[in-house]
Amino acid sequence: MTKNIAILGASGYTGAELVRLIHGHGGMKIAALSGERKAGMAMGDVFPFLRHLDLPVLQKIEEIDFSTIDLAFCALPHATSQAVIKDLPRDLKIVDLSADFRLRDPAAYEKWYGQPHAAPDLQAEAVYGLTEFYRDQIRAARLVAGTGCNAATGQYALRPLISAGLIDLDEIIINMVVGVSGAGRSLKENLLHAELSEGTNPYGIGGTHRHLGEFDQEFSGLAGRKVEVQFTPHLAPFNRGILATVYVKGEARAIYAALEAAYGAEPFIHLLPFGAAPSTHDVRGSNHAYIGVAQDRRSGRAIVFAALDNLCKGSSGQALQNANLMLGFEETQGLEGLALFP
Amino acid sequence: MTKNIAILGASGYTGAELVRLIHGHGGMKIAALSGERKAGMAMGDVFPFLRHLDLPVLQKIEEIDFSTIDLAFCALPHATSQAVIKDLPRDLKIVDLSADFRLRDPAAYEKWYGQPHAAPDLQAEAVYGLTEFYRDQIRAARLVAGTGCNAATGQYALRPLISAGLIDLDEIIINMVVGVSGAGRSLKENLLHAELSEGTNPYGIGGTHRHLGEFDQEFSGLAGRKVEVQFTPHLAPFNRGILATVYVKGEARAIYAALEAAYGAEPFIHLLPFGAAPSTHDVRGSNHAYIGVAQDRRSGRAIVFAALDNLCKGSSGQALQNANLMLGFEETQGLEGLALFP
Amino acid sequence: MTKNIAILGASGYTGAELVRLIHGHGGMKIAALSGERKAGMAMGDVFPFLRHLDLPVLQKIEEIDFSTIDLAFCALPHATSQAVIKDLPRDLKIVDLSADFRLRDPAAYEKWYGQPHAAPDLQAEAVYGLTEFYRDQIRAARLVAGTGCNAATGQYALRPLISAGLIDLDEIIINMVVGVSGAGRSLKENLLHAELSEGTNPYGIGGTHRHLGEFDQEFSGLAGRKVEVQFTPHLAPFNRGILATVYVKGEARAIYAALEAAYGAEPFIHLLPFGAAPSTHDVRGSNHAYIGVAQDRRSGRAIVFAALDNLCKGSSGQALQNANLMLGFEETQGLEGLALFP
Amino acid sequence: MTKNIAILGASGYTGAELVRLIHGHGGMKIAALSGERKAGMAMGDVFPFLRHLDLPVLQKIEEIDFSTIDLAFCALPHATSQAVIKDLPRDLKIVDLSADFRLRDPAAYEKWYGQPHAAPDLQAEAVYGLTEFYRDQIRAARLVAGTGCNAATGQYALRPLISAGLIDLDEIIINMVVGVSGAGRSLKENLLHAELSEGTNPYGIGGTHRHLGEFDQEFSGLAGRKVEVQFTPHLAPFNRGILATVYVKGEARAIYAALEAAYGAEPFIHLLPFGAAPSTHDVRGSNHAYIGVAQDRRSGRAIVFAALDNLCKGSSGQALQNANLMLGFEETQGLEGLALFP
């Protein structure tokens, strides 16, 4: 039976990506789209690549009749999301793509986001949306918090190692090279083609990037002790993709085995042969993630790589995967498309 | 019923694009893949983005048992294709993506390709693969010749105008900006990222580009007289996409009406509002093409734009669309994916 | 003797390019920099690649003491420029990079820019800054109007042909592929890397681009009759460069000879061998322009190509070349740098 | 007095970059250019952006009369370089840009390059070309070995810290994001625009990259004990630039002070304010390098960033800087050009 879907905040990249994915799903119908500043516009005017589709006109959120909606994707900006969701019907299934419900601890939220949470009860209710590790809770959840795209990538590389006690928890360094679309449709000089193409730069350096809040929460939870990783993302001139290069102290073969055990049955997480490293070129536009492990020349040190598409597996694809679980579809439905290459 | 498919020459970009599209088709099974120099390799080693699929190992063509194959896509290089196809079973359905069977006239073939044709009987048998204009013949064909990607783009802009007698046939100028993948996986200095990115250049200038042979054949056939267009392609640093900007003498509104009549019912060809121009960004990875018409400031002069993805609608997508017709599938099956944006 | 230079509107790309070029000039000292919204900031904070230079802090224009300035480059936005320049000392030498003084006819200005000119007397005084064709007037000028970058490119291809009466004046089509920096540092969605990379689109179509005003003025002036060209620019994902592909009716060899005669002694305009086409890759970052001519397959039709760097030869390099003339330097001083390749 | 210069192996990117830099030098004349496979060609046919220069035709090396040459830049492939240099006149000044003379220890050479060295006496004679740290020896040297571009970048970040004993020598991790031109003009599929643009991937992983040989030699030499760093480069889609992100254990403020002391008087190495990180956009085409230091959220851990242009400061610019010292020019002559931005 077809499910009615609303996308709130449809005028950003994750909203458009949701429309793209749902178009190929077969069991979902987009029944409502919201866009505050662009209310009244056709989706095809906001994203011309969608103009030949028959889609609802963008509305203001308060104009949407949620009684007919089976599930809402909430792709609103951080902070806006919690303000909106707390006023939505309390029986509406929601997958939130913002950062608002990722951190369970109100103090941690305030620390990383600089203000108290506006809906702490919902914060407590929300299930963390890293599908492969929260599958059962997601299936039963009403409100799922999509993970940060960097946070997801780093966790795919590290969770099985931490769970298995295979690495030194004080010596984890997560280096990332990330594509442009992660910054969203923001009008900033450094995101202009003229300034961003043809070079690279680190950002959010020195332990300031907000996705550290997620790493801290999840890794400390897994380890049963405080774990603080070091994390440096670098912006590079491609639109989709995150490559995590994770430096750890541990035995590479044991690490490989733990990853193999963790992901052997997963439909979207693939472990490469030992010693091989993934490329983001191979996941552009797909919901697949690739993991690789290499041994450093010094024993006891290993590198774990993870590559995924930040807009798909790192955000909207993950959201649809979770929605599939929440609505009773096959988990992979609508998500089996291959990467676009070249 | 599932049809068995072979892809000959699967190690190039059009071969990989066929695998990508067929993966989402639902009614086709890839039963054989050939690659002469890469025979014995797994497809996932040639194109890592395919590595998690269960695909046949690359073979030499002579190793393939064609008795179980329902249709073969032939993505071999020009000249190789005719040599191979003439030795394939004469009842095998074939969609050829090379230039070898596009020109019906052996003399025209020799003029543009510099050597006599090796299989003139097949040349006579082949149906030109521009689906929207040869649909019925393609449905009944055994051998379909995929069009040139530039040739397809220009024809979408021009055929209805020529058929309707709306433009001056001696004054047609086709300017194109084309993406990189059209040159294939060739190892040439000018195709290296270091040399191709960050600039543009024309090529095939002065009436030398081979796709002119197709324009001449098709436009002259439509007009019932010799038509020679002027055509200049420009290479620009993006991977997928062709934008044709066609300068014609004629009344823009009448031109618009003719295009509207021609494409109103087409599933993949979309006419934009009068005065709007398409962008290749909106067709990247999709089988859709967009057409636009603008009036110049001087009356009697118009510009017609056409945008499509050279690897998809201009090549492998067209090939699958034709194969659908030849095998009795819905014409659009496996081709309804949206563009990847951003 | 070192000349004191002011750059008004130094926080845009043409301002930064002027700083880059003047840094290598040897006879000029940057004595003042203005930036309205960024007044008080160091230039190195606005453009970090300049941070190791010893440059004046950005000021408001009214804070600058022009009595010590020998020449001001005015890189302000259109319309702002005329409002500022009319209040500057009337004996100050000025090279304006905006569109404000390019059109001599107040009616033409109002037609293309949508409002009456604020300083019609200065409009009459200004000399059009296409160095190679206005060299003597520029040498004697107080106020020089830099040309449009597209307008310069098209004129390099066409002026000698029009002057020599070699082409059909009613049949000129100028097609361009232009880089991103021509749009300046504007915060627009279509200029974001995520939206602009990986594709191309036409803009300013149907005879609406403002540089047509310059073409009309200059070509009509040369021809002694009204000349209206057709002009379509295309935005493509590279930062610097314009490639003009100009379709004309005339004899290609005669056209080549006229260009050879016009540019044989020019230090920055180079004619390629007959039949060769230029690439913008070869002029990135340099003040050189390349011209090429090809014969179409039909006699009487030719294509003329011109390639230059819009920020350098098309704007700031031209401005410095003109300033050299106005201040008595060698015309080429500070401008002999080669393109950056790759 | 003008010095006569030969460039051996002028048909690669470092050769072309040398021509570009020497063109603006003022005290050097390019008297000979070699290119084995392209002997007889004009340099402007190999690199069209040089076509308007008056340059010697490419020769075979044996055709060059070295008696009139003051200094030869040797931009030949690895292994070829040693074979050629050992047969050149023993009084000819040489700056070699290959890897052949970087490692002083024949055993280390054989380990990293897989074969015995063909000219071990010259290997012993060669001075390592990291200008800022070998300045006096370079001034007196006959044969200078240009450093690896990655090796230079990492050393700028680390040498002062190791010399001052400020960091844990067993815990150094060097992560890099590197541009495309570092791979040279090699015809490989992964360097094609179609395959390299729009994504990133690590390479040379697990302690296999040859520049580790240089790190080992130099860092162990400075420390007086064996130092083995961990090093992972990532290829990203821009043409020029290397960004090193170096993870160390040490006090960030002390590290900053050591870098300030080391580079305060250097003309080309600039330390950013504490906590700021450099971008490769700011060094594209220039001989400048930027260094930054940030404190991790955990005390005792710091990150040091270094950014430079691999073809200029990392290779040909360094070579010219060294040649200036060897020939008695100002060290900065011909190298003061600014980055090209945007």
| Average pLDDT across chain B, whole number | 97
Q: Considering the domain boundaries, does residue C281 fall inside one?
A: yes
- In the numeric block, which tokens belong to residue A342? 């070249």
How high is the pLDDT of residue A286? 98
Contacting chains of D (3 CB pairs or more, <8 Å) are: A, B, C
Distance CA C283, CA C313 (A): 9
How high is the pLDDT of residue D1? 82
pLDDT tens-digit map of B236-284: 999 999 999 999 999 999 999 999 999 999 999 999 999 999 999 999 9
pLDDT tens-digit map of C64-93: 999 999 999 999 999 999 999 999 999 999
pLDDT tens-digit map of B40-81: 999 999 999 999 999 999 999 999 999 999 999 999 999 999
Of B203, B295, B342, the CB nearest to C194: B342
Distance CA D342, CA D339 (A): 9
How high is the pLDDT of residue C1? 82
Q: What are phi and psi of D21, to 5 degrees?
A: -70, -45
Task: Look at B280 and C199 and tell me if their CB atoms are within 8 Å.
Answer: yes
- In the numeric block, which tokens belong to residue A296? 């450093």
Going through chain A in order, the beta strands assigned E by DSSP cover: 3-8, 28-34, 58-59, 71-74, 93-96, 127-128, 143-145, 173-178, 201-202, 230-235, 242-249, 269-271, 289-295, 301-308
* Secondary structure (H, E, C), C128-140: ECCHHHHHHHHHH
Our CA angle for A41, A47, A49, nearest 5°, is 130
Residue A171 and residue A232 in one domain: yes
Average confidence (pLDDT) over A152-173: 98
Q: Which of A236, D274, B249 lies closest to C247, judged by CA?
A: B249
Distance CA C272, CA C291 (A): 6
CA distances from A232 to A63, A169, D199, D251, D252 (A): 42, 17, 18, 18, 16
Q: How many domains does chain B have?
A: 2
How high is the pLDDT of residue D123? 94
Distance to chain A for B283, nearest Cα, Å = 7
Query: Out of C149, C174, C304, C312, which one is annotated catalytic?
Result: C149
Angle at which helices C149-163 and C131-140 pack, to 10 degrees? 100
Distance CA B121, CA C106 (A): 68
Percentage of chain A modeled with pLDDT above 70: 100
Residue in B20, B43, B185, B338 to test binding to A, most A beta-carbons within 10 Å: B338
Query: Out of A18, A99, A149, A293, which one is annotated catalytic?
Result: A149
How high is the pLDDT of residue A136? 98
What is the distance in angstroms between the CA of the first residue and the CA of the last residue of chain D? Answer: 36
Residue A18 and residue A77 in one domain: yes
Residue the block writes with tokens 């536009």: A285
Do C118 and C86 meet the contact criterion of CB atoms below 8 Å apart? yes
Q: Considering the domain boundaries, does residue D339 fall inside one?
A: no
B242-249 β-sheet, strand order: B201-202, B230-235, B173-178, B242-249, B301-308, B289-295, B269-271
Judged against a pLDDT cut of 90, whether residue B1 lies above it is answered with no
| Average pLDDT across chain A, whole number | 97
CA distances from A119 to A63, A87, A110, D84 (A): 22, 10, 12, 73
Torsion C44-C48-C54-C60 (CA) sign:
negative
Task: Label the pairing between strands D173-178 and D242-249.
Answer: antiparallel
Residue C101 and residue C177 in one domain: no
Residues of chain B with Cβ-Cβ distance to C231 below 8 Å are none
Distance CA A339, CA B17 (A): 10
Judged against a pLDDT cut of 90, whether residue C341 lies above it is answered with yes
Chain C's closest residue to A186, CA to CA, is C189
Q: Considering the domain boundaries, does residue C341 fall inside one?
A: no
pLDDT tens-digit map of C88-122: 999 999 999 999 999 999 999 999 999 999 999 99
Average confidence (pLDDT) over B162-187: 97
Residue B142 and residue B164 in one domain: no
Judged against a pLDDT cut of 90, whether residue A245 lies above it is answered with yes
Q: Considering the domain boundaries, does residue B333 fall inside one?
A: no
Residue A143 and residue A166 in one domain: no
Average confidence (pLDDT) over B316-322: 98
Whether the complex's predicted ipTM surpasses the cut of 0.90: yes
Q: What is the DSSP letter of D187?
A: -
Chain B's closest residue to A285, CA to CA, is B340
Residue D99 and residue D156 in one domain: no
Bridge partner residues of D306 (DSSP) = D244, D291
Q: Considering the domain boundaries, does residue D335 fall inside one?
A: no
Domain extent at residue D215? 150-309
Q: Which of B180, B149, B135 lies closest to B306, judged by CA?
A: B149
Helix (H, G, I), strand (E, B), or coil: what is residue C165? coil
Q: Which residues of chain D are under the pLDDT cut of 50?
A: none
> What's A90's domain CATH number?
3.40.50.720
Chain B's closest residue to C276, CA to CA, is B205
Q: How far is CA D319 from the centre of its chain?
A: 8
Chain A's closest residue to C188, CA to CA, is A187
Task: Look at B207 and C296 and tell me if their CB atoms are within 8 Å.
Answer: yes
Cis peptide before C278 (omega within 30 of 0): no
Residue C105 and residue C55 in one domain: yes
Residues of chain D with Cβ-Cβ distance to C46 below 8 Å are none
Distance CA B105, CA D317 (A): 57
Distance CA D286, CA D289 (A): 8
Cβ-Cβ pairs closer than 8 A, A with B, add up to 85
Of A48, A340, A342, the CB nearest to B282: A48
Task: Look at B288 and A52 and tell me if their CB atoms are within 8 Å.
Answer: yes
Bridge partner residues of B56 (DSSP) = none
Q: Which of A25, A134, A112, A22 lies closest to A75, judged by CA?
A: A22
Of C189, C237, C239, the CB nearest to A185: C189
Chain A's closest residue to C241, CA to CA, is A194
Going through D198-275 in order, the beta strands assigned E by DSSP cover: 201-202, 230-235, 242-249, 269-271
How high is the pLDDT of residue D159? 98
Task: Look at B247 and C230 and tell me if their CB atoms are within 8 Å.
Answer: yes
Judged against a pLDDT cut of 90, whether residue A1 lies above it is answered with no
pLDDT tens-digit map of B241-251: 999 999 999 99
Q: Considering the domain boundaries, does residue B28 fall inside one?
A: yes
Distance to chain A for D151, nearest Cα, Å = 18
Distance CA C248, CA C162 (A): 11
Residue in C290, C308, C341 to test binding to D, most D beta-carbons within 10 Å: C341
Q: What are phi and psi of B284, to 5 degrees?
A: -60, 115
Cβ-Cβ pairs closer than 8 A, A with C, add up to 51
Task: Look at C49 and D286 and tell me if their CB atoms are within 8 Å.
Answer: yes
Task: Look at B49 and A342 and tell me if their CB atoms are within 8 Å.
Answer: no
* B149 assigned to active site: yes
pLDDT tens-digit map of C157-202: 999 999 999 999 999 999 999 999 999 999 999 999 999 999 999 9
How high is the pLDDT of residue B155? 98
Chain A's closest residue to B264, CA to CA, is A52
Cβ-Cβ pairs closer than 8 A, B with C, add up to 154
**Amino acid in position A157:** A
Q: Which of B84, A196, C104 lies closest to D237, judged by CA?
A: A196
Residues of chain B with Cβ-Cβ distance to C307 below 8 Å are 201
- In the numeric block, which tokens belong to residue A150? 């960097």
* Secondary structure (H, E, C), chain B: CCEEEEEECCCCHHHHHHHHHHHCCCCEEEEEEECCCCCCCCHHHHCHHHCCCCCCCEECHHHCCHHHCCEEEECCCCCHHHHHHCCCCCCCEEEECCCCCCCCCHHHHHHHHCCCCCCHHHHHHCEECCHHHHHHHHHHCCEEECCCHHHHHHHHHHHHHHHCCCCCCCCCEEEEEECHHHHCCCCCHHHEHHHHCCCCEECCCCCCCCHHHHHHHHHHHHHCCCCCCEEEEEECCCCCCEEEEEEEECCHHHHHHHHHHHHCCCCCEEECCCCCCCCHHHCCCCCCEEEEEEECCCCCEEEEEEEECCCHHHHHHHHHHHHHHHHCCCCCCCCCCCCCCC
Q: Considering the domain boundaries, does residue C332 fall inside one?
A: no
Task: Look at A51 and B342 and tell me if their CB atoms are within 8 Å.
Answer: no
Distance CA D113, CA D85 (A): 18
Distance CA A203, CA A176 (A): 10
> What's D172's domain CATH number?
3.30.360.10
Do D341 and D285 meet the contact criterion of CB atoms below 8 Å apart? no
Query: Out of B18, B149, B319, B335, which one is annotated catalytic?
Result: B149
Residue B64 and residue B157 in one domain: no
Average confidence (pLDDT) over B32-38: 95
- Residues of D annotated as catalytic are 149
Helix (H, G, I), strand (E, B), or coil: what is residue D301? strand
Q: What is the DSSP letter of C192?
A: B
Residue C8 and residue C135 in one domain: yes
Residue B282 and residue B323 in one domain: no
Residue B130 and residue B219 in one domain: no
Residues of chain A with Cβ-Cβ distance to D197 below 8 Å are 238
Q: Considering the domain boundaries, does residue D174 fall inside one?
A: yes
**Amino acid in position A218:** E
Which residue intervals of chain A are DSSP H helices? 13-23, 43-46, 80-85, 106-113, 120-125, 131-140, 149-163, 193-196, 211-223, 252-263, 317-327
Residues of chain A with Cβ-Cβ distance to C197 below 8 Å are 193, 197, 237, 239
Q: Which of B27, B243, B256, B262 lies closest to B130, judged by CA?
A: B262
Residues of chain B with Cβ-Cβ distance to C169 below 8 Å are none
Residue B182 and residue B137 in one domain: no
Do B286 and A285 meet the contact criterion of CB atoms below 8 Å apart? no
Do C173 and C245 meet the contact criterion of CB atoms below 8 Å apart? no
**Amino acid in position D6:** A
Helix (H, G, I), strand (E, B), or coil: what is residue A74? strand
pLDDT tens-digit map of A273-322: 999 999 999 999 999 999 999 999 999 999 999 999 999 999 999 999 99
Distance CA A279, CA D236 (A): 10
